[in-house]
């Protein structure tokens, strides 16, 4: 299989990858940025990166190709088909406040 390598990355591109790796809460996005950092900074190949991140070699190659083609935006998940979500920000906030309340604060007979 033909080896895929990343072109030389500028300091800004490396900083953007590092920032994404450090700040994202999405585990998949963090792993993808780690893959690109290993390829760009250490010059590792897809099989070596796959062993480090415990993923399939083909998966590493796919994300490397997407990163080369689309840049850092290519590491994000593609939009999923289907209807948009029904949970609004207001509903989510109300739900979280209800879930975080202590049962005894409800003053119901089963919570005493």
Give the pLDDT mean for 28-51: 95
Does the model's pTM come out above 0.85?
no
CA–CA gap between residue 112 and residue 105 (Å, rounded) = 9
Percent of the chain with pLDDT over 70: 97
CA–CA gap between residue 78 and residue 88 (Å, rounded) = 21
* Average pLDDT, rounded, for the chain: 91
Instruction: Average the pLDDT over each of 36-45, 70-79, 102-111 and give the range with the smallest value.
Output: 102-111
């Amino acid at each position: 299989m033909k080896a895929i390598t990343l072109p030389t990355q500028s300091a800004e591109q490396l900083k953007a990858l590092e920032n994404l790796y450090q700040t994202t809460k999405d585990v998949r996005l963090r792993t993808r940025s780690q893959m690109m950092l290993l390829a760009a900074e250490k010059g590792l190949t897809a099989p070596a990166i796959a062993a480090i991140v415990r993923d399939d070699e083909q998966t590493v190659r796919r994300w490397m190709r997407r990163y080369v083609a689309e840049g850092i935006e290519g590491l994000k998940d593609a939009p999923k088909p289907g209807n948009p979500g029904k949970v609004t920000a207001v509903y989510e906030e109300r739900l979280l406040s209800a879930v975080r309340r202590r049962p005894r604060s409800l003053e119901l007979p089963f919570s005493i």
